[in-house]
Amino acid sequence: MKVQKGYILLLISCLTAFQGLSQRYGKNIPDFEHRKFHFGTALGGTSTTYNYELKTSFTEFDSVYQININAGPGFAIQLPLISWNIHSTFHLRTIPSLTFHDTEFLYSFWRNGERETKSTRTQPTLLNFPLLLKLNTKRINNFAAYAITGASYSYDLASQDDVDQSLSDPIIKLKRHDFAYHVGGGFDFYLPYFKFGIEIKLSNGMRNLLIQDDTFFSAPLQSLKSQVWWFSITFEG
């Protein structure tokens, strides 16, 4: 949550600054929304956690009584951004990306009458291929707001699905392939030579990524589905 709040405060600060600039100067790139195609790039961060289900008898597994999943910060490189402008306010776009994620799993359990904790991390490196629909308002001077939705396919380059488990130091093994749906929104600012955007969106995985191999970390779990907050800045020409 702290990571997400930090990103939100940064976005609000950028929004305030660029809104002031758009009011100070005249209308930039007046024909931008009438072009059929736009190209660009995006950079940003992610905050990754998982929606999970526990087995009904999960407390039987080594006296585990609580599992916490702590979202960690990540980084996203999105290139290229390709936008087909079906209408001045309706766009079909794709932004293939390479993303790096980090999430901590913290298990609390009882041993010999004392509370202990044990942790592990997942650190997938994903190639993402989204197809998104963007619906924006009509621009006011050099400003417009928009909503975005769509779906994506992801491939984990760092998956350890075929790694032999170590009983003394087990890991949570995740499947390589995932599908997710996206919802979000943002703001566009038309600068003299390009359009600058600030965007926040949420993606929820639709596939159970857990590889159940009955280790200390996986045995209490029924399923794991990815949940990622995306915070991006976009540049379109």
CATH number where 136 lies: 2.40.160.20
Average pLDDT, stretch 224-233?
96
Whether residue 15 is predicted with pLDDT greater than 90 in this model: the reply is no
- What is the value of pTM for the model shown? 0.83
Provide Rg for the chain, Cα atoms.
Answer: 21
Give the β-pairing of 143-156 and 97-100.
unpaired
Closest C-alpha to 102, from 28, 43, 50, 177:
50
Average pLDDT, stretch 57-69?
74
Tell me how long the chain is: 237
Q: With helix as H, strand as E and coil as C, how does 110-173 read?
A: EECCEEEEEEEEECCEEEEEEEEEEEECCCECCEEEEEEEEEEEEEECCCCCCCCCCCCCCCCC
- Are the C-beta atoms of 128 and 152 separated by less than 8 Å? yes
How many domains does the chain fold into? 1
- The tokens for 220 are 């209490």
Q: Is the preceding peptide bond at 192 cis, omega within 30 degrees of 0? A: no
Give the span between the Cα atoms of 134 and 92, in whole angstroms.
6
Average pLDDT, stretch 195-214?
95
Whether residue 9 is predicted with pLDDT greater than 70 in this model: the reply is no
- Per-residue confidence (pLDDT) for residue 216, from 0 to 100: 86
Average pLDDT, stretch 70-92?
91
**Strand, coil or helix: what is 200?**
strand
Average pLDDT, stretch 58-85?
84
Residue with tokens 């940003």: 44
pLDDT band at 93 (very low <50, low <70, confident <90, very high): very high
Q: Which domain holds residue 192?
A: 2-236
pLDDT band at 185 (very low <50, low <70, confident <90, very high): very high
Over the stretch 153-179, which tens digit does the pLDDT of each residue have? 999 999 888 887 776 678 899 999 999
Whether residue 4 is predicted with pLDDT greater than 60 in this model: the reply is no
